[in-house]
Amino acid sequence: MNTKKTYKVLTLLVFCLCFALGFSQNNKQKELETRRQELRREIQKINELRLENKSKEKSQLSLIEDFNYKINVLNNLIKVTNQQANLITREISSNQKKITKLRDELKQLKEDYAAMIVKSYKSKNQQSRIMFLLSSNDFKQAYKRLQYIKQYSDHQKQQGETIKAKTKELQDINTNLLKQKEAKQKLIAENRETQKSLEAERKQHQVLMQSIKKNINLYTTQIKNREREARRIDAEIDKIIKAAIAKSNKKAGKSTSSKTFALTPAGKALAKDFESNKGKLGWPVEKGIVKVRYGTQPHPINRSLTIKSNGVRIATEKNAKVRAVFSGEVIGVVAMKNINPLVMIRHGNYITTYKNLSKVYVKEGDKVTTKQEIGEVFTNKRTGETILSFSISKESSTQNPASWIYKM
């Protein structure tokens, strides 16, 4: 490969690399902005729910959950906004380098163009051109000289167009640079306000924790009682699932001691359809925020205690309707002592459970469709809180709802 071809290949590779890098940065900026807006909407939901329950006396445990949740969201918002600002800083630096390079190129182009114009002016008169042609030794040389004059004229025009294009490119980058600087300043200003909100939340959280620590034994007992109650509900859910598996297997002529469903072709198709929608399932309520996530975690008040969450707890608005996240069959409507009703829906070998309902619109054996309203979330009259507990399991094995529900 000759030097000229090597240079062309290297130039093309550099261009492709720069384009790919620019495209990647642009995509990253869009992702960050989408996430930032999601967090802002989440904070708005928190504030709306707080305002709705302002006149109610929430329990200390619930207030701590609220503070922890909002502090976590504010921290995430600050983190994402900082990432955006840092990305813009890198883009500004890149643009400034481009501007410097373009200015140098433009300067050189203008100098070359000026020299060309001077040279052209000196030989511009018609007599000089005619003499240049007539002094040719033969027709072939005269033709070549005529072509040279034309090429020189075309080169002048091309240089002029190149200067125009470079000037326009420089102006566009400068305009973009100003917009980037404005966007960065706006993000910095917003982050300052978020920091103020975070500090205010932390101070209130600290005051509340100091009050709680004075009666830590009382709250520890409350936490243990709540966990005991949750385990009782989970045990009842597990019992219903095992009974549904045994019933399904008996109907299919399989062993009733099996821990998995004997699926019919229709059941297999439904389970496959459910699995194919992992990460895309709709929320069980139209509006809500996740206050307690899935998994074993230290309690926010007494961190020596752990809570085991087999699902998520979603704070929603008063009179919120509960919706089936996917089509299936109701396998249980349970009303336990001192516990609000819950509904269980089977989707092949998957089960979704909706707890803490005040009203139930379905009964065992009913076929339901995606987003069909199956009940209403219970609202605590004393605290004003409306909390739906939601879980997903494959047979008796619990799943993280955040992996299944869209943007949870």
Greater confidence, 13 or 107? 107
pLDDT-derived band at 80, boundaries 50, 70, 90: very high
Contact indicator for 339, 293 with CB cutoff of 8 Å = no
Average pLDDT over residues 113-140: 63
State the pLDDT confidence band at 22, using cuts at 50, 70 and 90.
Answer: low
Homologous superfamily of the 228-403 domain (CATH): Glucose Permease (Domain IIA) (2.70.70.10)
Side-chain half-sphere CA neighbours of 141 within 13 A: 7
Lowest mean pLDDT among 96-110, 252-266, 287-301: 96-110
Higher pLDDT, 62 or 260: 260
Position 351 pLDDT exceeds 60: yes
Confidence of residue 127 (pLDDT cuts 50, 70, 90): very low
The partner residues of 354 in beta bridges, in order of sequence, read 343, 390
- State pTM to two decimals: 0.70
pLDDT band of 120, cuts 50, 70, 90: low
Residue 56 has pLDDT above 70, yes or no: no
More confident residue, 251 or 17: 251
Question: Which of 16-30, 76-90, 247-261, 297-311 is predicted least confidently?
Answer: 16-30
- Every domain of the chain and the residues it spans: 3-213, 228-403
pLDDT band at 54 (very low <50, low <70, confident <90, very high): low
SS3 content of the chain, % helix, strand, coil (to 5): 60, 15, 25
The rounded distance, in Å, linking the Cα atoms of 315 and 61 is 14
- Summarize pLDDT for 242-287 with one digit per residue, the tens: 999 998 888 888 888 888 999 999 999 999 999 999 999 999 999 9
Average model confidence (pLDDT) across the chain: 85
Lowest-pLDDT choice from 51-60, 192-201, 395-404 = 51-60
Residue 324, CA distances (Å) to 61, 178, 368, 372 in order = 29, 49, 7, 6
- pLDDT at position 172 over 80: yes
Report pLDDT for 9. 52
pLDDT in the model for residue 161: 81
For residue 371, pLDDT over 80 is answered with yes
pLDDT above 80 for 119: no
Helices assigned H by DSSP within 291-354: none
Q: Residue 376: is its pLDDT beyond 90?
A: yes
Radius of gyration of the chain (CA): 35
The C-alpha angle with vertex 197 and arms to 196 and 203, in degrees rounded to 5, equals 90
Q: Given a cut of 50, is residue 7 above it in pLDDT?
A: no
Closest Cα to residue 289, out of 357, 387, 221, 380?
387
What average pLDDT does the segment 232-247 reach? 92
Beta carbons of 177 and 92 less than 8 angstroms apart: yes
